[in-house]
Amino acid sequence: MKLTPSLPIPTPTVKPPADRGGGAVASARGARLRPPGFPGGGRVRKGRGTVRAGGWWRGGVGAWVVLAAPALWAQTELDITKSVDVHGFLKPVPVHVSGFTGEADSVLKNDLLFMGIAHVPAAEAKFVVTGSNAGRVEGRVVEKFNQHQRLAKAYAGGTIRAQVHAFADDVARELTGQPGIAQTSIAFRVETGGGRSEIYVSDYDGHNARQVTRDESMAAAPAWGGRSMLYYDSYKLGRLNVFAHELASGSRRSITPYGGSSMSPAVSPNGQRVAMILSKSGNPDLYVADRNGANPQRLTSTREAESSPCWSPDGASICFVSRTRGPAGLYVVPAAGGPMRRLTTAGVPNATEPDWSPDGKWIVFTTMMRQFHICVVKAGGGEARVVVEGEDPSWAPNSRAVVFCRGPDHGKSLSLLDVPTAKVKTMRRFLGSNSQPSWAR
């Protein structure tokens, strides 16, 4: 891996205790940055895949230097206890950000917000995040109480925005212990006019959008199938088929050579199986097949239509929507086959569009109560909580943030949601209506 050289950032003004053998250790690592774009349509409800991939590119065009504190100082590090809210989510870690300017400042604060770190006035902060973006990004994290430096890095290569994303991820890992999400990707549906829609991919915050499909038909319901693969529905062949699309090469093929409609793909966590809704036997039922569509196994056989499957993170179960008892509700079935059971969403009827959090604790879903709303419920069922107005939710890898859409038909925009605080940031709409987002994990 070729790395761009990076010099150590200046020594902080507040010095640690005398060095007794620890010293300052410099190391370099490739920052993950993305290259430019590549060449590559009725409302179709999507399915969700739980795949552990942060995107399909992991370029080695960046570098940073880490300054490690002396060993003795590390041993006396203050352990600041992380507290949780009444729902079990980590409360936002209060930090004060300074030194960054323009886009770098706004991007950093936005990144941190959706990773459980809140920018607050200096007097309220437990940590101070300082740095600069003159030519390259340099950043530090210091404990306010004792001036202990927790993180000090400089970044090189790519754009300033990409370097800020890398720094934000490092801050999140240091202060929350959770994976960063600033360098991840989302896929989504874009209406292009005339009843047509295509699949696009962008950075998690909507920047750097790139077109994936060019069907000039109706493509919908994208689901990640690893770092370099997307599954989705398309009418390209005249009827609704599920396609597997290699992002790097642009090659793709239908994996559902059956009669009837095929829709709502969701890829298993290990990438080897695909859950989808097939009507090849009459009613739309839930099936699981190999990732190439072979060996389909029927999991449901009801008189009503099933929809929107998603996998548990251990790959053992699938949550989906059924109307077998009347109104839409969430059900769970073993991925290997077995009886389906109703998942209780007390207080919230008409549950649709589920997505299982990567940590296995939560299911986020949509309900219709005059308007669409995003709700969450514990994975075992129980009292559901209405969080915000919107639909089409998809969890981030950190099991805290959610990407969703809201707005009128043919005029929807994507938004980011911090589930514990219900804070929302709406993204700039790209071309026509944007909907059915899927977050790469």
Q: What is the pLDDT of residues 259-273, one digit of tens each?
A: 899 999 999 999 999
Residues 149 and 284 in one domain: no
Residues 193 and 295 in one domain: yes
Residues 251 and 315 in one domain: yes
Shortest CA distance to 255 belongs to which of 269, 274, 236, 272?
A: 274
Crossing angle between the packed helical segments 102-113 and 160-176, to the nearest 10 degrees:
30
Number of domains in the chain: 2
Q: What is the DSSP letter of 18?
A: P
Residue 28 in any domain: the answer is no
Give the Cα separation of 174 and 170 in Å (integer): 6
pLDDT for position 7: 41
Q: What are phi and psi of 178, to 5 degrees?
A: -105, 155
Q: In the Cβ-directed half-sphere of 205, how many Cα atoms lie within 13 Å?
A: 19
Task: Tell me the CATH number at 77.
Answer: 3.40.50
**Residue listed under structure tokens 């993170």:** 313
pLDDT for position 325: 81
Residues 103 and 207 in one domain: no
Q: What is the pLDDT of residues 360-393, one digit of tens each?
A: 999 999 999 889 999 999 999 999 999 999 999 9
Residue 46 in any domain: the answer is no
Domain boundary among 145, 176, 207: 176
Task: Tell me the CATH number at 311.
Answer: 2.120.10.30
Residue 71 in any domain: the answer is yes
Residues 278 and 406 in one domain: yes
pLDDT for position 27: 31
Model pTM score: 0.84
Residues 159 and 267 in one domain: no
Residue 156 in any domain: the answer is yes
Cβ atoms of residues 315 and 297 within 8 Å:
no
- Average pLDDT, consecutive stretches of 10 residues, N- to C-terminus, the chain (441 residues): 40 36 32 33 36 34 40 39 81 97 98 98 98 97 96 96 98 95 98 95 96 96 94 95 96 93 96 96 94 96 94 98 92 97 96 98 95 97 97 97 96 97 94 96 90
Residues 110 and 190 in one domain: no
Structural domain boundaries, residue 191: 185-439
Q: Which two tokens stand for residue 55?
A: 């995107």
Domain boundary among 135, 156, 176: 176
Give the Cα separation of 377 and 432 in Å (integer): 32
Residues 232 and 319 in one domain: yes
Buried b / exposed e along 311-330 (16+ C-beta atoms within 10 A): bbbebebbbbbbbeeeebbb
Strand, coil or helix: 71: helix
Strand, coil or helix: 246: strand
Q: What is the pLDDT of residues 264-313, one digit of tens each?
A: 999 999 999 999 999 998 889 999 999 999 999 999 999 889 999 999 99
Residue 10 in any domain: the answer is no
Torsion angle of alpha carbons 174, 86, 308, 346, nearest 10°? 170
Residue 245 in any domain: the answer is yes
pLDDT for position 87: 86
Q: What is the pLDDT of residues 96-129, one digit of tens each?
A: 999 999 999 999 999 999 999 999 999 999 999 9
Residues 91 and 150 in one domain: yes
Cβ atoms of residues 283 and 302 within 8 Å:
yes
Give the Cα separation of 269 and 312 in Å (integer): 8
Domain boundary among 176, 201, 233: 176
Residues 172 and 225 in one domain: no
Residues 231 and 301 in one domain: yes
Residue 148 in any domain: the answer is yes
pLDDT for position 376: 98
**Residue listed under structure tokens 């700039």:** 428
Residues 390 and 266 in one domain: yes
Residue 214 in any domain: the answer is yes
pLDDT for position 405: 98
